[in-house]
Structure 1
Amino acid sequence: MLMPKKIKYRKVQKGRMAGLSKGARSLEFGEYGLQAVEPSWVTAQQIEAVRVTLSRKLKKIGRLYIRLFPDKPVTKKPAETRMGKGKGNVELWVSVVKRDRIMFEIAGLDEMSAKAALKAAAYKLPMKTRIIKKDLVQNSED
């Protein structure tokens, strides 16, 4: 699973997910991408599930770019524990995904198979997504 090697603080506060993503709002590496339509936490397990799904669909032809990293620790108290006694232990790592963030990009596939692969990947994620295509601007000077 993905997780940081070293962090400044072991436990962090919840935070909020309002507003648009600060970065990763345009396709930079691939021709097709999976974009978040609503905010959510994406866990390291979900990122790994998407990676496995896409790498199976891409075979050895296409190229996959993952633009997420789970750098936020989420804590959980044990079951049947009384209130107080401090914050729980770190259970999982998540990536905070805001609206309009491009999470995954693929290159080197035709349109139909690229859309099919990204649709299969979208089922593994906890939020609504959309598939976007890079606008290929061609300057034809005749």
Structure 2
Amino acid sequence: MALMPKRVKHRKSQRGRIRGNATRGNRVVFGEFGLQAMEGGWISAQTIEAGRIAAQQYVRGEGKLYIRIFPHKSITSIPLETRMGKGKGEPDFWAAVVRPGTVLYEVSGVTEQAARICLARLAHKMPIRVRMVKRT
């Protein structure tokens, strides 16, 4: 099942805009290898889950996968062919706001070659450009 907050203070949020680079969550902490965002954007809960499944199938028993992002932002939409007015639409899906430099996923307990293949599979699912980074 897709990720979403248990409860929120406000059901609907404004779009906002993504400015600047990530100052927090921008280095590999839990694993040895990570997948880092190179551009900003929204990543939906469904996309995060699709990435988790793709990586988990490859890692299986030997390694561990860490998900470093969580979808806190509700994205609303109005039904198609609806006239102007009538207010803001209902929440459609939940998304994680990602700035450039944010580490999205981390992998530990696998070789570099295996991590490279695993993160490449993950990168195909992402709507933004990403790169593999190592722990420093």
TM-score (norm. length: structure 2): 0.98
2-structure distance, mates of 1:59, 1:65: 13
- Deviation digits for residues 74-114 of structure 1 (CA, Å, limit 9, x no counterpart): 00001100011100000000000000000100000001010
Aligned 1:84-103 pairs, distance under 5 A: 84-103=85-104
Cα deviation for residue 23 of structure 1 reads 1.0
- 2:120 corresponds in structure 1 to 119
After the TM superposition, list the runs of 4 or more consecutive aligned residues in structure 1 that deviate by more than 2 angstroms: none
Matches for 1:1-142 after TM superposition, within 5 Å? 1-135=2-136
When normalised by structure 1's length, the TM-score is 0.93
Supply the distance in 1 between the matched residues of 2:51 and 2:61 (Cα, whole angstroms): 16
Q: Which runs of 5+ in 2 are unaligned?
A: none
Q: Secondary structure of 1:45's partner?
A: helix
Alignment RMSD: 0.6
Using the alignment, how far apart are the partners of 1:21 and 1:7 within structure 2?
A: 24
CA-to-partner distance for each residue in 1:5-32, whole Å, 9 max, x for gaps?
A: 1000010100111111131011110000
Cα distance in 2 for residues equivalent to 1:40 and 1:9: 21
Gaps of 5+ in 1: 136-142
Percent identity at matched positions? 43
How many correspondences in the alignment? 135
| Structure with max Cα Rg | 1
Q: Which amino acid aligns with 1:71?
A: H
